Structure 1
Amino acid sequence: MGHDVAGERPVDLVRVRYIDRDGREHLTPLDRVTAVPFEDGRMARRVPSYRGQRHTPGRYWSATTGQLLEYESYLESKWLTLLDFDPAVVGYSVQPLEFDGVDGRGAWRHVPDVFARRDDGSGWLLDVKDPNRLGSSKVTLQRQRTARVCARLGWDYQMVGEPLEQRWANVSWLSGYRRPPNLGAELMPRLVGLAGRPVTIGDLLGFMEYPDIARAVLFHLCWKQRIVFDLDAPLRESTLVVAGEVAQ
């Protein structure tokens, strides 16, 4: 086992197992994977599905990737939606790789839940955990090991539980409008223009000839964050919205 300077602390010996986009399996030392496009790879572990299980697995269609992504629980699907909403995320995948390591506590393996690639090229690894388990010693050790490995790779790492309630309520609502609209697509430039200054949703739609059609287009623009509002406040007719470039 390797050691840090002066032998102060054992260093994890870690290999990474992953399956590339063409279905080829790789087992690679940690220092050789920084350039691997994990956001385009296949799942390193299949999500189990069986009668009587407590989790609720399913599939989420991602507007970012244009693909169906498997999730293991409803909580995990929330974070897939939040990543889909994040304009800095340009690609992501689930069950993307397996760490196979040895450290001072012994041998360990772990398949993180999600890998995301940001528009600046950086990597972001997430583990989604039941909030009731976040304080357990087993989960804490897993978090420490994974965070240590991500630090060596230069990736960000988070272990997350439930997202903020109001923010999730708003993003969940907007996710219903994540597919590009066909009917009313020509209204997008006008809506963005009218939101050049802060305006309530009710007043903005009042300018439109067909407000019901315009409403769906508006929420798609909010999903794309071309029009923005306070995500931590309830979404109402009185909610102030403004064009994204103005808000910046």
Structure 2
Amino acid sequence: MTVRKARTLHVLPTGVGPLLVRYYDAFAVERLVPAADASSVRFEECLPARSLPSYPGIRHTPGSYWAACCDTVLDYESYLESQWMRLLDFDEQVTALAAQPFIFEGQDADGKWQHTPDLFVRRTDGSALLVDVKNPQQIDKPRERRQAERTATACALMGWDYEMVGDPDPQLWATLEWLGGYRRPLNATAHLAEPLLALAQSPLSIADLVSFHDPELARPVVYHLLWHHRLLFDPTRPLRDHTLVWAARREITP
């Protein structure tokens, strides 16, 4: 398991020039490169660009999150940021996450600007997504919208996608908050995974599925399989004993 140690970059004025990206590589070497060159950097393997503050009385709730998609511990600055880490971790198209990945340094008609995106996302197809997590009460303020416009423009030049997000969907979050507790690898009950998947070749309820084994042992395995998309379900509806689940089809390699 990889644990990333955050450090703080000392940002210098860039003056008039191209959009730049400042970051620490995997060996803790500080780099400053044009954005066009940074698009090929594997930021999921780099160190965070800045440390997150933590002190008595802080209004945010910083902490750490273990991402199952890449077996990496990520530091988050707020509870809202931790929610989006979990939602992205569940996304089947996400293969890696990084927090505070780098600093944009640019200049436009309004002057010099700098911005550290909250999350870098690598997808299974190799594409990238930047995510900024904002307090819903602040997300539509002119300063935040300007930041989003600058970052979106920068991402477009680099061939990346960009999103600024607020509160997650309440129903989806309720489901993933629960399932996320079962995302870690199975140990003593790992032998139950294949039999449960074999039983779920056709849709059946969670209650029926766990009844074929000791429910106290089978239920956590079912939730683990749901998190890892080996069992499928409708995540837009409440997760209950009557929720229908079914085994994902596996691609057969010739």
TM surpasses 0.5: yes
Equivalent residues in 2 for 1:156-171, closer than 5 Å: 156-171=161-176
Note the alpha carbon deviations across 1:58-112, whole angstroms, 9 max, x for none.
0111112222110000000001111111121111110000000001111100000
In the TM superposition, residue 12 of structure 1 has moved relative to its aligned partner by 8.2
Pairing partner for 2:241 from 234, 237, 246 = 237
Which residue of structure 1 lines up, in the alignment, with residue 146 of structure 2? 141
Q: Please say if residues 55 and 73 of structure 1, whose CA atoms lie closer than 8 Å, have aligned partners that are also in contact.
A: yes
Which residue of structure 1 lines up, in the alignment, with residue 10 of structure 2? none
Q: Mark the runs of 5 or more structure 1 residues left unpaired by the alignment.
A: 1-10
Which residue of structure 1 lines up, in the alignment, with residue 4 of structure 2? none
Which residue of structure 2 lines up, in the alignment, with residue 119 of structure 1? 124
In the TM superposition, residue 53 of structure 1 has moved relative to its aligned partner by 1.3
Q: Does 1:23 align with 2:39?
A: no
Which residue of structure 1 lines up, in the alignment, with residue 46 of structure 2? 41
- Percent identity at matched positions? 48
Matched residues, number:
235
2:102 and 2:67 mapped to 1: Cα distance? Answer: 20
Q: Does 1:223 align with 2:237?
A: no
1:181 and 1:125 mapped to 2: Cα distance? Answer: 31
Note the alpha carbon deviations across 1:191-248, whole angstroms, 9 max, x for none.
111111110011111112x1110101110000101101111111111111111228xx
Q: Does 1:173 align with 2:178?
A: yes
Q: Does 1:214 align with 2:218?
A: yes
Cα RMSD over matched residues? 1.3
Paired letter, 1:180 = P
TM-score by length of 2: 0.90
Pairing partner for 1:95 from 96, 100, 104 = 100
TM-score by length of 1: 0.92
Paired letter, 2:172 = R
Partner SS for 2:129 = strand
2:125 and 2:152 mapped to 1: Cα distance? Answer: 21
Partner SS for 2:19 = strand
Note the alpha carbon deviations across 1:162-215, whole angstroms, 9 max, x for none.
11001011111011001111121111111111111110011111112x111010
Partner SS for 2:97 = strand
Q: Please say if residues 16 and 30 of structure 1, whose CA atoms lie closer than 8 Å, have aligned partners that are also in contact.
A: yes
Q: Mark the runs of 5 or more structure 2 residues left unpaired by the alignment.
A: 1-15
Deviation beyond 2 Å, 4+ runs, structure 1: none
Q: Please say if residues 49 and 100 of structure 2, whose CA atoms lie closer than 8 Å, have aligned partners that are also in contact.
A: yes
2:218 and 2:188 mapped to 1: Cα distance? Answer: 9
Which residue of structure 2 lines up, in the alignment, with residue 109 of structure 1? 114
1:39 and 1:14 mapped to 2: Cα distance? Answer: 21
Range moving further from structure 2, 60-69 or 123-132 = 60-69
1:29 and 1:60 mapped to 2: Cα distance? Answer: 31
Note the alpha carbon deviations across 1:115-146, whole angstroms, 9 max, x for none.
01111110110000000001100000000000
2:17 and 2:62 mapped to 1: Cα distance? Answer: 32
